[in-house]
Amino acid sequence: MNGEFYPKKQIGKLFHTETMNYSNEAIEYLEHQKGKVVCLNDTEHEENFELHKNQIIEAFEKILPEKSQFEL
């Protein structure tokens, strides 16, 4: 594994945590379900990992409020 995953631009988007506005852009992308695939890539330079993680979890809980059978 080399960690070089990139979704096709037509169906998804890649977000790097070290990018400015990562959290806001990724949250908006998730909440508005703008694509079929999303890749959320953290790095060793992450300064606000816990904050970003919690925001991502909240966004997923908004669009997927019920657990799937695999999570039960």
Q: What is the torsional sign of CA 6, 42, 46, 56?
A: positive
User: Which secondary-structure segment (H or E) carries 12?
Assistant: strand 12-16
Q: Confidence class of residue 8 from pLDDT cuts 50, 70 and 90?
A: low
Render pLDDT for 22-72 as a digit per residue (tens, 0 to 9). 678 888 999 999 888 888 887 777 777 788 888 889 999 999 999 888 888
| Beta carbons of 56 and 27 less than 8 angstroms apart | yes
* Residue 12 buriedness (CB in 10 A; 0-12 / 13-18 / 19+): middle
